[in-house]
Amino acid sequence: MQRRTMLASMAAFAGLAACSKFRTYTGPEVTEVFIFKENRKMYLMHHAQALAEYDIDLGFSPYGHKQQQGDGRTPEGTYRVNRRNPDSAYHLSVGIDYPNETDRKIAKECGVDPGGDIFIHGGPTERADRDKPDWTAGCVAITNREVEDVYAMVRDGTPVHIIPASTPPIANPRPGTPPPLDEIAPEVLIAHGREPVLPVDPRLVVPGADEVMVTSNRDI
């Protein structure tokens, strides 16, 4: 199965130098991002239409909501894109607003550091991680080429819903409220675990100039 599937019906495009990692996107707005831990999939949505599908890797301890710094878990719940790093050690990265107020409150009650620096970023830099599933410290990883598209397509403020896996059972509290499955766009559920049914448009994003805003002081 092709790792990345673009599903836009129309997309205008314009480009500059092909060597740039920054790309220009003028297609339909990405209104939400859905990340399914169960089958390691991420979908960029324009309302009820899936614009793109990606295979993902999670934190090295992929089940359950992130509780504290160093636990290797990827957060669960609804967050928002709040920063991006064009100088990421992982090619490019888009960050979410974990920990939120609830995360910080729970961590304080437990006497732990909730951690942070959760990003959607590119592929591994260490040889040992290249063939390893779920290799990150809690981030969501795709390929370097794919993160170029995500960086261009997903704007700050976009909701990111991280849906827990059904197994093993999750007993830990989860800040944020993932939408019930019956409220998730039908196209996402149809594509969840099977071949997408909408036509592919490979012209969705092309090499080009993109606004560059450094809002992270870390190298993730």
Residue 193 banded pLDDT, cuts 50, 70, 90: very low
Residue 155: DSSP 8-state: P
Out of 37-41, 79-83, 99-103, the most confident range is 79-83
Angstrom CA distances, 119 to 99, 174, 212, stand at 12, 18, 17
pTM: 0.72
Mean pLDDT is lowest, of 65-69, 150-154, 156-160, 180-184, for 180-184
Fold classification of 4-207 (topology level): L,D-transpeptidase catalytic domain-like (2.40.440)
- Enzyme catalytic residues: 121, 139
Look at residues 159, 197, 196, 191 and name the one whose alpha carbon lies nearest to residue 178.
159
How many residues belong to the chain? 220
Look at residues 174, 171, 165, 153 and name the one whose alpha carbon lies nearest to residue 193.
165
In angstroms, rounded to a whole number, what is the distance separating the alpha carbons of residues 130 and 124?
6
Q: How far is CA 144 from the centre of its chain?
A: 13
* Buried/exposed 168-194: b ≥16 CB within 10 Å, e otherwise: eeeeeebbbebeeeeebbebbeebbee
The structure tokens listed for 83 are 């920063």
pLDDT by residue (tens digit) across 111-159? 999 989 999 999 988 876 777 889 999 999 999 999 999 999 999 999 9
Determine contact, residues 31/15, Cβ cutoff 8 Å.
no
**φ, ψ for residue 151, nearest 5 deg:** -60, -40
DSSP result, 22-73: -EEEBSS---EEEEETTTTEEEEEETTEEEEEEE-B-BSS-SS---STTS-P
